[in-house]
Structure 1
Amino acid sequence: MSPEEHPTIADFFKDMEVGLPTLERPFGIKLWPVFSKLYSGLFGYAPENFKFRQGETHMSTLQETLVALAAYYIIIFGGREIMRNRKPFVLNGPFIVHNFYLTVVSGALLALFIEQLLPTLVNHGVFYGVCNYQGGWTKPLVTLYYMNYLTKYLELIDTVFLVLKKKPLTFLHTYHHGATALLCYTQLIGHTAVSWVPITLNLCVHVVMYWYYFQAARGIRIWWKKYITIMQITQFIVDLGFVYFASYTYFTSTYFPWMPNAGRCAGEEFAAIAGVVILSSYLLLFISFYFATYKKETKSGRPRRNTGKDALIAMAREPLPRPRGLSSAGDEDSNGAVSTAREGSKTRSRKA
Structure 2
Amino acid sequence: MMPIIEQSLQWHFDVAQFWAVATNGKHKSFPRFQAKYVIKKHFGLFVQITIAYLLLVLATLLLMRNRKRFKLQYPLMVWNFALSIFSFYGSYVMLSAMVKTIRALGLYACACNEFSKMSPAAEHWLFLTVLLKALEFGNTFFLVLRKKPLSFLHVYHHVLAFLFLAHVYQTTSSLIRCIVIVNLLFNGFMYAYYFIRSMKIKLSIKAKALATSVYFVQLSLYSICFVTIYLANRRYSCDTPKLLLYTASGICFSYFVLFMFFFAKKYLRDDVLFLYRKLKTMKLD
Question: What band does the TM-score fall into relative to the shorter chain?
Answer: 0.7 to 0.9
The answer to whether residue 258 in structure 2 is matched with residue 302 in structure 1 is: no
Paired residues of 2:30 and 2:121 also in contact (CA < 8 A): no
Distance 1:293 1:55 in 2: 40
Cα 1:195–1:58 shift into 2, 3 Å: closer
Instruction: Pick the aligned partner of 1:125 from 84, 106, 113.
Output: 106
Q: For residues 219 and 75 of structure 1, what CA distance do their matches in structure 2 show? A: 28
Contact 2:226–2:249 (Cα < 8 Å) also in 1: yes
Measured on the aligned residues, the alpha-carbon RMSD in Å equals: 2.8
Matched residue pairs, number? 256
Cα pair distance change 1:114/1:102, threshold 3 Å? same
Secondary structure in structure 2 of the residue aligned to 1:192: coil
Partner residue of 1:108 out of 69, 79, 89: 89
User: Contact 2:109–2:116 (CA<8 Å) still a contact in 1?
Assistant: yes
Is 1:94 the counterpart of 2:68? The answer is no
Q: How far 1:281 sits from its partner (Å)? A: 1.1
Q: CA deviation at 1:238?
A: 2.0
Superposed displacement of residue 301, structure 1: 3.0
Q: For each residue in 1:111-151, what CA deviation from the matched residue of structure 2 results, as whole angstroms up to 9, or x when unmatched?
A: 11122111112233222210112447665543222111111
- CA 1:85–1:70 in structure 2 vs 1: closer, same or farther (change >3 Å)? same
Whether 2:242 is the aligned partner of 1:242: answer no
CA offsets per residue over residues 144-199 of structure 1, 9 Å max, x none? 22111111111110001112112232111110111111121122012221322222
TM-score by length of 2: 0.79
* Structure 2 equivalent of residue 186 of structure 1: 167
What are the superposed Cα offsets for residues 177-225 of structure 1, whole Å, 9 maximum, x if unpaired? 1111112112201222132222222222111111111111112224532
CA contact (8 A) 2:77 2:199 kept: yes
Which residue of the partner structure matches residue 265 of structure 1?
A: 238
Match of 1:274 in 2: 247
The answer to whether the aligner puts 1:43 opposite 2:26 as a matched pair is no
Shift of 1:54: 7.1
Residues of 1 paired with 2:40 and 2:144: CA distance? 25
Letter in 2 for 1:95: L
Matched, 1:291 2:261: no
Question: Which structure has greater helix proportion?
Answer: 2
The CA distance in 1 between the partners of 2:258 and 2:127, in whole Å, is 26
Structural mapping, 1:329-348, within 5 Å: none
Q: 139, 149, 162: which is aligned to 2:143?
A: 162
Q: Distance in 2 between matches of 1:67 and 1:154?
A: 14
Task: Give the superposition deviation at 1:66.
Answer: 0.7
Structure with more contact order per residue of length (Cα contacts < 8 Å, sep ≥ 6): 2
Q: Following the alignment from structure 1 to structure 2, what is the Cα–Cα distance between the partners of residues 157 and 303? A: 41
Q: Which runs of 5+ in 2 are unaligned?
A: 1-18, 280-285
Residues 269-289 of structure 1 deviation map (CA, whole Å, 9 limit, x = unaligned): 553243122122112222222
Who is 2:213 aligned against?
A: 230
Contact 2:153-2:258 within 8 A present in 1 as well = yes
Task: Please list, as runs of the form range in 1=range in 2, the aligned pairs for 1:198-213 lying within 5 A after superposition.
Answer: 198-213=179-194
When normalised by structure 1's length, the TM-score is 0.65
SS at match of 1:167: coil
Structure label with greater radius of gyration: 1
How far, CA to CA, are the matches of 1:228 and 1:136 in structure 2?
A: 34
CA contact (8 A) 1:159 1:174 kept: yes
Q: Secondary structure at the match of 2:38?
A: coil
For 2:91, the aligned partner's letter is L
In terms of mean alpha carbon deviation, does 213-222 or 65-74 score higher? Answer: 213-222
| Stretch moving more, 295-304 or 70-79 | 295-304
1:216-248 CA distances to partner (integer Å, 9 max, x unpaired)? Answer: 111222453222232211211221232144246
Counterpart AA for 1:232? Y
8 Å CA contact retained: 2:157, 2:255:
yes
- Cα deviation per residue 1:62-83 (whole Å; 9 max; x = unaligned)? 3111101001101111111112
1: CA distance between counterparts of 2:79 and 2:176?
26
